[in-house]
Chains A and B, each alone.
Chain A
Amino acid sequence: MATVTATAARPALPGALRRPAARKLLVLALAAAVLVPVAVTQWGGTAWPGALTVDVSEPLGRASDWIIDNRDSHPLFLYFFGHVSNVVVIAVRAVYLALLAVGWAGVTAIGALVAWRVAGVKLAVGTAAAFLACGLLGMWVPTMQTLALMVVAVLASVAVGALLGLAAGLSDRMDRVLRPVLDTMQVLPAFAYLLPVVLVFGIGVPAAVLATVVYAAPPMARLTALGLRGADKEVLEAVESLGTTARQRLLTARVPLARKELLLGVNQTIMMALSMAVIASVIGAGGLGDRVYQALASVDVGAALAAGIPIVLLAVVLDRVTGAAGERLGESGKSPVTWLYALAAAAVVAAAGRIAGFLEWPDAWEVDIAESVNRAVDWMTAHLYSGVPVVGGTGDWAAHFTSWILNPLRDGLQWLPWWSVLLIVAALAWLIGTWRTALTAVLAMAAIGVLGVWNPSLDTLSQVLAAVAVTLVIGFATGIAAARSDRFERALRPVLDVFQTMPQFVYLIPVVALFGVGRAPAAAAAVVYALPAVVRITAQGLRQVDPAALESARSLGATSGQQLRQVQLPLARRSLLLAVNQGVVLVLAVVIIGGLVGGGALGYQVVFGLAQGDLATGLVAGAAIVCLGLMLDRVTQPTERRPRKGA
């Protein structure tokens, strides 16, 4: 039986694919044969034709001036945005003051006790250790600032996300309307929409919180909808037969049944919000992100790491605790009494801490790691940059990477006539998805041309393609290794955790020290950031391959390499495609931040817009990034992903 599946699956796949693929290509070729001659005679040249661009810089400049001139007087600001901004400030301030009032001993105790009740002793100890480490690194106050910001941002994101998810979960029409919106929100690199919020709310916490909500609400909405739709039909029917009203059914059956998804949504939202807390430091969010950013201004990797570690610790603790809470949901109930005990104990510790004067973290207990880290970085750059025998230094690699891969790729893309780029995009997106995905991708690409940023966008695209290629080579290799060895996977897990949660800003300086200024360090940082997701998805996909199929291949005498190539990889195709898709989206997010280390192109324009308050440049570049992200997402989006997501 197993043999049949294994052997039948392989020939069946290409056979099923080939015919529709050929048909799609044929249709596309016909369309091209009609449209391309028209386009070429009308607008020749390789770059996007000037006649087809719309200059939005003037209206955008006027809009930005209008906002600045009217921000203090117009009713829209006085009675709406002003209040939104005040609510955010008041809420963050309240949480911050509460955290300060409880003191470090109290916060640590409460954190540990909550973790203990929710996730067990091991995580309680971990939580306490994490909080103490934040203090030891001299980051107590910034950590509390970030935590205050996070609490408010996460609550707001969860509320917004749950409302959207509720709407999408209960109404099919809302679901159809919301799905593309959520899709889009998720592929947007966060950097791109900092500028508009800053313009309305100004630099600071309100803008940061709102940007975070935009970024972190979609997973909550998506998982809420998924949970509500996935509720067991039989249970629902049973409840319905009891004569309940729609509202009762929602509250007593559907929401409780969706608890797991809801918790997973909260978990995802927390992780996204935390990564945004750092990016938001560019717009003055304060807290840990700001410390990372300030340290980088004086090229102090050690100090940046000291502020980065608390972020990683917070992320890991919050991830594990909420994750464990999700897993424990089904277990036998815990009595509310123990919760009371836990809370009482926390209150006692907090009060005792207050009386004992354990409010502000004592300076004497701080450990300075900056110096040793900086020495290590100096050593690395001194010894690895150039003149390493045989392999050459990292500086040489970067130069080769730039002149042999990045430059030809960029020049090649910019040399291609504009209509051929659209055709390639259409073909790729259609082959891998439906005509709808193809249409979205082509329209997104065309929008880039219309906005008048065709060349810089292709420059960014070339960086993304090069970095994705490197990511996939390393990621697949590591993922395969991790899937084959449990020990390797266990050893890898903390490393991946750190890579994934460490704020990208922290490794921007080491990559410059190693690879010089330019596009190469931006690509390197992107690879580091995107790698964990690719490795994880690959390893998971390979491990989920039906063991029976493997067993039968083994019994037929296949070598381990043959098993991998002929059974595991084809069967894990869906996961591998998803890994490619995630890799592309993540790489794009960092290549943009690469504008800070000489990546140029769109990333630079966004940074420029933010730094100069230039809405026209920043917003156009931001929109182009969004279009690029949409296009790349659609081109790499496995068809199977859509039904699974919405199901």
Chain B
Amino acid sequence: MRMRTTSALAGVAALTLLTGCGAADMTKQASPFANAQGARTVTLSVQSWVGAQANVAVAQYLLEHELGYRVDTVQVDEVPAWDALSQGRVDAILEDWGHPEQEQRYVRDKETIAPGGDLGVTGHIGWFVPTYFAKKHPDVTDWKNLDKYAELMRTAESGDKGQLMDGSPSYVTNDKALVKNLDLDYKVVFAGSEAAQITQIEQFAKEKKPFLTYWYTPQWLFEKVPMTEVKLPPYKEGCDADPAKVECAYPVTDLQKYLNADFAEDGGEAAEFLKRFKWTTEDQNQVSLMIAERKMRPEEAAKKWVDSHESVWKKWLP
């Protein structure tokens, strides 16, 4: 027993020695790979959809080639990204789809995260059917008629109901409540990740099969598989306040950027650049399509866009 106490004490002592005495600040926890070899590093969080990759690719390219930074990227889901941002493990989120709870906690209460302004892209979530199917059956685009087509949307996974395919569990979704509250003959099947969802959509499209999916704009996949939105009961301010009682469509969101509060203050040129970073849906889609469909490396795709849009990004440089 005595030996154990001694070794425990020794352990604590070693810990303190190694990290300097006193308190360790959990809000200042940079990545161990940051600022290696004297380079100035910015760590950006990438979310799992391609639009977010496109933002990061272009920001990374410009930070590296115009401002002389080294950029590290980390793939993190949306909510944990907020947490990582507040701890300083990442410096910025470039595309946030609206997380009021996190905003309250970190931006207003703890003030460890600072808003970084509009990204310039407008986001919208909805239910979509492939356009080739909507053309044949125009009435499918109203939610009231969805039950008529439930049989066609059946898969092995959804059993005797129609399949409404949802994506990653990290995405903002009310679909389960919607199906229930609108009393639809559908079952929500979660693809589990956007990659799986895209793969499945492409597979369906190849065979011209009908399907119903949760999807969002801006998204590069529309260029490859044209889809038409299904009209849900219109969105009104506050109609989605109670997640269990939602029976309206998703809102249109101006996507936001957020920076770590310390980084926003002392981040120098990089922080200034990221705050000014603002482009259009069309710009983002160009880059996304190059990355996801033409399988270009994000760096090459960013270079291509940067080379032809100098007037846009010149304004971002501090």
In the complex, the answer to whether B198 meets A299 with C-beta atoms within 8 Å is yes
In the complex, identify which listed stretch (A115-123, A196-204, A229-237, A474-482) lies at the interface while the others stay far away.
A196-204
Closest to B52 in A: A297
Report the stretch among A129-137, A507-515, A554-562 that lies at the interface: A507-515
Assess whether B196 is in contact with A284, with CB atoms less than 8 Å apart. Answer: no
With A and B bound together, what is the CA distance between A400 and B16 in angstroms?
60
With both beta carbons as reference points, the residue of chain B lying nearest to A205 in the complex is identified as B32
B156 touches A297 (CB 8 A): no
Residues on A with beta carbons closer than 8 Å to the beta carbon of B193: 296-297, 508, 596-597
Contact: A286 with B72, CB < 8 Å?
yes
Give min CB distance, B99 to chain A, whole Å. Answer: 10
- B80 interface residue per 8 A CB criterion: yes
Given A518-B157, A596-B193, A597-B192, A71:B32 Cβ within 8 A: no
Q: Is A613 an interface residue (CB 8 A)?
A: yes
A638 interface residue per 8 A CB criterion: no
Which of B42-50, B126-134, B237-245, B269-277 faces chain A? B42-50
Task: State how many angstroms separate the Cβ of A526 from the closest Cβ of chain B.
Answer: 14
Docked pose: A597 CA to B292 CA in angstroms: 19
Contact B200 A512 (CB under 8 A): yes
Select which of B30, B110, B190, B291 is within 8 A of A298 by beta carbon.
Answer: B291
Least distance between B84 CB and chain A CB atoms (Å): 4
Give a binary string over B223-243; 1 marks a CB under 8 Å from any A CB, 0 the rest. Answer: 000000000000000000000
- Distance in angstroms from A38 CB to nearest chain B CB is 35
Contact A399 B26 (CB under 8 A): no
Question: Is there an interface contact between B26 and A598, defined as CB atoms closer than 8 Å?
Answer: no
Q: Which of A82, A93, A598 contacts B189 (CB 8 A)?
A: A598
Q: How far is the CA of A582 from the CA of B19 in the complex (A)?
A: 42
Select B24's contact among A82, A402, A610, beta carbons within 8 Å.
A82
- Are A386 and B196 closer than 8 Å at their CB atoms? no
Chain A residue numbers with a CB within 8 Å of B74 are 203-204, 284, 286, 290
Q: Are B165 and A202 in contact (CB under 8 A)?
A: no
User: In the bound complex, do residue A607 and residue B26 qualify as a contact, i.e. CB atoms below 8 Å apart?
Assistant: no
Closest to B102 in A: A613
Q: What residue in chain A is nearest B207 (Cβ atoms)?
A: A386
Asked if residues A87 and B15 are in contact (CB atoms below 8 Å), the reply is yes
Given A205-B32, A286-B74: A84 in contact with B15 (beta carbons within 8 A): yes
Chain A residues closer than 8 Å to B110, beta-carbon distance: 72
Q: Mark B204-229, 1 if CB is under 8 A from A, else 0.
A: 00110000000000000000000000
Could you say which of A85, A87, A293, A597 contacts B196, with CB atoms under 8 Å apart? Answer: A597
The 8 Å CB contact of B157, one of A198, A281, A512, A598, is A598
Distance, CA A204 to CA B87, complexed state (A): 10
Check B157–A402 contact: CB distance below 8 A: yes
Residues of B within 8 A of A290 (CB): 73-75
Contacts of A386 in B (CB 8 A): 207
Asked if B295 contacts A87 (CB within 8 A), the reply is no
A400 CA / B155 CA spacing, docked (Å): 11
Q: In this assembly, does A604 line the interface, its C-beta being within 8 Å of a C-beta of chain B?
A: yes
Q: Is A6 an interface residue (CB 8 A)?
A: no
Complex formed: what's the CA distance from A496 to B44 in Å?
37
Complex-state Cα separation, A293 to B48, whole angstroms? 9
Instruction: Assess A517 versus B197: contact at CB under 8 Å? Given A202-B29, A402-B157.
Output: yes
**In whole Å, how far is B259's beta carbon from the nearest beta carbon of chain A?**
16
B147 proximity list for chain A (CB < 8 A): none
Task: State the CA gap A204–B84 with chains docked (Å).
Answer: 8
Q: Which residues of B contact A101 (CB under 8 A)?
A: 37
Verify if B315 is at the interface (C-beta below 8 Å from A). no
In the complex, are the beta carbons of B83 and A97 less than 8 A apart? Answer: no
Which of A83, A101, A302, A303 neighbours the largest number of chain B CB atoms within 10 Å of its CB? A83
| Cα–Cα distance between A298 and B83 once the two chains are bound (Å) | 24
User: What is the size category of the interface that chain A forms with chain B?
Assistant: 35 or more
**In the complex, what residue of chain B is closest to A281 when comparing beta carbons?**
B75
Binding stretch for chain B, among A20-28, A73-81, A487-495: A73-81
Within 306-354 of A, Cβ neighbours of B (below 8 Å) are at none
User: Is A385 engaged at the interface, CB distance under 8 Å to the other chain?
Assistant: yes
Instruction: Tell me the chain A residues, 562-611 only, with Cβ under 8 Å from chain B.
Output: 594-600, 603-604, 607-608, 610-611
Partner of A204, one of B16, B31, B48: B31
CA distance A88 to B89 in the complex (A): 14
- The answer to whether B295 touches A85 (Cβ under 8 A) is no
Establish whether residues B169 and A283, one from each chain, have CB atoms under 8 Å apart when the complex forms: no
Whether B26 and A81, one on each chain, are in contact in the complex, defined by CB atoms closer than 8 angstroms, is: yes
Residue B79 interfacial (CB < 8 Å): yes
> How many angstroms between the C-alpha atoms of A300 and B295 in the bound complex?
7
* Distance in angstroms between the alpha carbons of A150 and B220 in the assembled complex: 37
Please report which residues of chain B, range 173-197, place their CB below 8 angstroms from some CB of chain A when the two chains form the complex: 189-197
B15: nearest chain-A partner, CB-CB: A83
Q: Which residues of A contact B196 (CB under 8 A)?
A: 508-509, 512, 517, 521, 596-598
Residue on A nearest B197 in the bound complex, by CB: A517
The answer to whether the Cβ of B302 comes within 8 Å of any Cβ in the partner chain is no
Q: How far is the CA of A90 from the CA of B189 in the complex (A)?
A: 43
Q: Are the C-beta atoms of B80 and A613 separated by less than 8 Å?
A: yes
B53 touches A298 (CB 8 A): yes
Cβ contact within 8 Å between B195 and A298: yes
B19: chain A residues within 8 A (beta carbon): 82-83, 86-87, 90
Is there a chain A Cβ closer than 8 Å to B309's Cβ? no
Interfacial chain B residues near A86, Cβ < 8 Å: 18-19, 24, 29
Residues of A within 8 A of B46 (CB): 294, 297
- B68-82 vs A: 1/0 string, CB under 8 Å? 000011111111110
Enumerate chain A interface residues (CB-CB to B < 8 A). Answer: 68, 71-72, 77-79, 81-90, 92-93, 96-97, 100-101, 145, 148, 198, 202-206, 281, 283-284, 286, 290, 293-294, 296-300, 302-303, 370-371, 374, 381-382, 385-386, 395, 398-400, 402-403, 407, 508-509, 512-513, 516-521, 594-600, 603-604, 607-608, 610-613
- New A-B pairs, 18, CB < 8 Å, besides A100-B37, A297-B193: A86-B29, A87-B18, A93-B36, A97-B37, A205-B33, A281-B75, A283-B80, A284-B75, A286-B31, A286-B72, A407-B156, A508-B196, A509-B195, A516-B200, A519-B157, A597-B196, A598-B157, A612-B77
Pairs across A and B, CB under 8 Å, 6 listed: A198-B80, A284-B80, A521-B196, A597-B191, A611-B78, A611-B168
**Which B residues fall within an 8 A CB radius of A?**
15-16, 18-19, 23-27, 29-33, 36-37, 46, 48-50, 53, 72-81, 83-84, 87, 89-90, 105, 110, 112, 155-157, 159, 165, 168-170, 189-200, 203, 206-207, 291-292, 295, 297
